[in-house]
Amino acid sequence: MSREEFVDPEDVELLEKRCRGYRFGNRSPLFTICESEPRVVTTYQNFDSLLTPQDHVSRRTSDTYYVNSDHCLRAHTSAHQHTLMQSGLDAFLVIGDVYRRDEVDRTHYPCFHQIEGVRLYSRDELLGKKSDGENVADLFAAKPDTERLPEKQETHSLDATKASEIQLKQFLESLCDELFGKEAEKRWVDAYFPFTHPSYELEVFYNGQWLEVLGCGIMEQKLLESAGVTDKIGWAFGIGLERIAMVLYGIPDIRLFWSKDTGFLSQFVGKSPTDEVKYKQISAHPQVIFDLSFFLPTTSVQFNDMTSDVYDTIRNVGGELVEQVKLTDEFENKKKGKKSQTYRIVYRSHEKALTKEEKYGEKGKM
Ligand code: PHE
């Protein structure tokens, strides 16, 4: 059955609504970005389609969150590979939250985020054509004696595998350069995943240690075939996003990503991915919020002229305890010719929880 026969036009329309495209630079290939795939998937999508053995630990109820006997919360974004290939995509990125039952500590949390990448190549795209129109090598070696070797699958020729691997490694190395800088040392380590062969992990030397950045490999041909792709070879990779962000921004604990503490969040507001951001440790003691409103002296010129003076005064009086100050409201009473402003002051001590007096001042002092 050809892949086209699998594709329902309505599915394609739905898919186009869900996904948008992304080009690296202004060049091909165009990766379709899929960031609203449903987080509840079938056990077929999460395990079987990816050739996960029946007795694999990841299938246990102690590892995966089951919704019922044949649905679960996706444990990885790889769960969407099959469906997206089946709907006709050859190059896509899936971004989403994934769920694993896990003990909670500094580096583990039951929910985190991944980005998945898949790229399929036709034989001509990958190997080009000889001038006489003959292919350089067969994608599927299809010789009776071909066998699975550490470096290739039984259905692939070594040429096709190597050519895909070069594409995969170049692509991921340049991604790594973007993230950690060209000067950071990288190394490829052999790995195992049920759905890729050969499989690799990419590690980068950053902040004095080797960090595992991603898992990847040449996709198992069986997986492509079951999605209706019979004439292509492909690679896939998966990256855990929190781990990378923790290293890049110096965030010491994965649980901080779930913090509503503005002392944490305000450090990232309005920042772009290319900005240098280094997280500054927030205190374990609670914030104290204090809103301060007052009329401006009638002689004051403009609202904005006052603001930085007020910021300075608040910081001078409050000293170290003032974590953030923000102008939150302005009001003008035209009849009376009076203007007022409200500032939100967030206090926090690094040493202790603040007392009532320290919060509100002894005699109404800030
Ligand atoms: N899904 C794998 C994981 O979560 C990562 C991966 C994706 C590996 C794609 C290979 C190919 O660990």
Specify the residue with its C-alpha closest to ligand 1, atom 6: 238
Instruction: Identify any residues that bridge with 156 across adjacent strands, giving them in sequence order.
Output: 140
**Residue pLDDT, tens place only, 29-43:** 589 999 999 999 999
- How far away, in angstroms, is 240 Cα from ligand 1 center? 9
DSSP for 250-292 reads T---GGGGG---HHHHTTTTT--TTS---PPPPPSSPPEEEEE
Domains of the chain: 3-249 (3.30.930.10), 283-360 (3.30.70.380)
Specify the residue with its C-alpha closest to ligand 1, atom 2: 238
Specify the residue with its C-alpha closest to ligand 1, atom 7: 238
**Residue pLDDT, tens place only, 140-157:** 554 555 789 999 999 898
% of the chain exceeding 90 in pLDDT: 57
CA 260 – CA 267 distance, rounded (Å): 12
- How far away, in angstroms, is 92 Cα from ligand 1 center? 14
Ligand 1: atom nearest CA of 77 is 1
Query: Is the Cβ atom of 112 under 6 angstroms away from ligand 1?
Result: no
Specify the residue with its C-alpha closest to ligand 1, atom 4: 76
**Residue pLDDT, tens place only, 45-65:** 999 999 999 999 999 999 999
Pocket probe for ligand 1: among 41, 58, 76, the residue whose CB has the most ligand atoms within 8 Å is: 76
Query: Is the Cβ atom of 78 under 6 angstroms away from ligand 1?
Result: yes
Supply the pLDDT for residue 351.
77
pTM above 0.80, yes or no: no
**45 — phi, psi (to 5°)?**
-65, -45
Ligand 1: atom nearest CA of 98 is 4
Query: Is the Cβ atom of 119 under 6 angstroms away from ligand 1?
Result: no
Task: Classify strands 91-99 and 30-34 as parallel, antiparallel or unpaired.
Answer: parallel
8: pLDDT confidence band, cut at 50, 70 and 90? Answer: low
Other C-beta atoms lying within 10 Å of the C-beta of residue 159: 17
Supply the pLDDT for residue 319.
83
Supply the pLDDT for residue 128.
73
Supply the pLDDT for residue 320.
80
**Residue pLDDT, tens place only, 80-118:** 999 999 999 999 999 999 999 988 888 999 999 999 999
On whether the CB atoms of residues 249 and 264 are closer than 8 A, the answer is no
Q: Is 42 helix (H, G, I), strand (E, B) or coil?
A: strand
Supply the pLDDT for residue 302.
60
126: pLDDT confidence band, cut at 50, 70 and 90? Answer: confident
Supply the pLDDT for residue 281.
86
Instruction: Tell me what the mean pLDDT of segment 294-302 comes to.
Output: 72
On whether the CB atoms of residues 210 and 203 are closer than 8 A, the answer is yes
CA 358 – CA 318 distance, rounded (Å): 10
Instruction: Tell me what the mean pLDDT of segment 340-361 comes to.
Output: 78
| Token output for 95 | 């971004």
On whether the CB atoms of residues 291 and 340 are closer than 8 A, the answer is no
- How far away, in angstroms, is 201 Cα from ligand 1 center? 9
**Residue pLDDT, tens place only, 226-268:** 999 998 999 999 999 999 999 999 999 999 999 988 889 999 9
Query: Is the Cβ atom of 172 under 6 angstroms away from ligand 1?
Result: no
Query: Is the Cβ atom of 196 under 6 angstroms away from ligand 1?
Result: yes
pLDDT > 80? residue 324: yes
